Amino acid sequence: MNQRPILCFGEALIDLHANGMDPHGFAAGFTPFAGGAPANVAVAAARLGGVARFAGMLSSDPFGDFLLASLQQAGVGTTDVARTDGANTALAFVNLDAQGERSFSFYREHTADLQFRAGDFRAEAFADVAVFHVCSNSMTDPALADTTREGMRRAQRAGALVSFDLNLRPALWPVGVDPLPLVWPALHLADMVKLSAEEFAWLAVDGEQTALDRLWSGRARLLVVTDGARPLRWFHPDAEGELPGYAVTVVDSTAAGDAFVGGLLCCLAELDATPDRLDRLVGQLPRLHAMLRFAAASGALTVTRKGSFAAMPSGDEVLAFMENQA
Distances (CA, A) of 219 to 51, 69, 116, 131, 325: 25, 36, 25, 15, 35
Domain assignment present for residue 13? The answer is yes
Q: Return the minimum-mean-pLDDT range out of 79-88, 179-188, 250-259.
A: 250-259
Q: Is residue 63 pLDDT above 90, yes or no? A: yes
- pLDDT at residue 162 greater than cutoff 50: yes
Q: Is the pLDDT of residue 279 over 70?
A: yes
Contacts (Cβ under 8 Å, ≥6 apart) of 309: 33, 34, 35, 39, 40, 43, 70, 71, 74, 255
Burial 147-167 (b: 16+ CB within 10 A, else e): bbbebbebbbeeebbbbbbbb
Question: pLDDT averaged over the chain?
Answer: 93
Of 66, 114, 60, give the one whose Cα is nearest residue 86: 60
- Alpha-carbon torsion, ordered 72, 76, 79, 81, to 10 deg: -80
Question: Which of 116-130, 165-179, 223-237 has the lowest average pLDDT?
Answer: 165-179
Under the banding of pLDDT at 50, 70 and 90, the label for residue 320 is very high
On whether residue 49 sits in a domain, the answer given is yes
The arithmetic mean of pLDDT across residues 31-40, rounded, is 92
CA angle 54, 254, 269 (to 5 degrees): 40
pLDDT of residue 117: 98
- The pLDDT score that the predictor gives to residue 97 is 63
Query: Which residues, including other chains, have CB under 8 Å from residue 180's CB and lie 6 or more apart?
Result: 202, 203, 205
Percent of the chain with pLDDT over 90: 76
Domain that holds residue 63: 6-315
Task: Supply the pLDDT for residue 274.
Answer: 78
Instruction: Determine what percent of the chain falls in helix, strand and coil, rounding each to the nearest 5.
Output: 40, 25, 35
User: Is 303 inside any structural domain?
Assistant: yes
Q: What is the DSSP string of 195-240?
A: EEHHHHHHH-TT-HHHHHHHHHTTT--EEEEEETBEEEEEEETTEE
Query: For position 212, what pLDDT does the model report?
Result: 98
Residue 148, pLDDT above cutoff 60: yes
Q: Find the mean pLDDT for residues 287-300.
A: 96
Average pLDDT, integer, range 295-312? 92
Residue 1 maps to a domain = no
Q: Round to whole Å and give the CA distance between 91 and 74.
A: 20
**CB within 8 A of 147, min separation 6: which ones?**
116, 117, 118, 120, 138
pLDDT tens-place string over residues 6-20: 999 999 999 888 777
For the chain, how many structural domains are there in total? 1
Cα torsion at 132, 136, 138, 140 (round to 10°)?
160
Give the pLDDT mean for 29-34: 88
Specify the range with the lowest mean pLDDT, choosing from 128-137, 269-278, 287-296, 297-306.
269-278
* Residue 324 lies inside a defined structural domain of this protein: no
The model's pTM is: 0.94
Is the pLDDT at 231 greater than 90? The verdict is yes
- Report yes or no on 247 lying in a domain: yes
The model's confidence at residue 283, banded by pLDDT at 50, 70 and 90, is: confident
Establish how many alpha carbons lie within 13 A of residue 97's alpha carbon, considering only the half-sphere containing its beta carbon: 5
Rounded to whole angstroms, the Cα distance separating 132 from 263 reads 14
Residue 288 has pLDDT above 50, yes or no: yes
Asked if residue 59 is part of any domain, the answer here is yes
pLDDT level of residue 27 (50, 70, 90 thresholds): confident
Share of the chain above pLDDT 70, in %: 97
CA-based nearest residue to 325, from 252, 226, 247, 242 = 247
Q: Is 200 among the domain residues? A: yes
Q: Which residues, listed in sequence order, are joined to residue 23 by a DSSP beta bridge? A: none
Let me know: does 148 contact 118? Beta carbons within 8 Å: no
Confidence band of 1 (pLDDT split at 50, 70, 90): very low
CATH number at 51 reads: 3.40.1190.20
Neighbouring residues of 208: CB distance < 8 A, sequence distance ≥ 6: 200
Indicate if the pLDDT at residue 96 is higher than 80.
Answer: no
User: What is the pLDDT at residue 171?
Assistant: 83
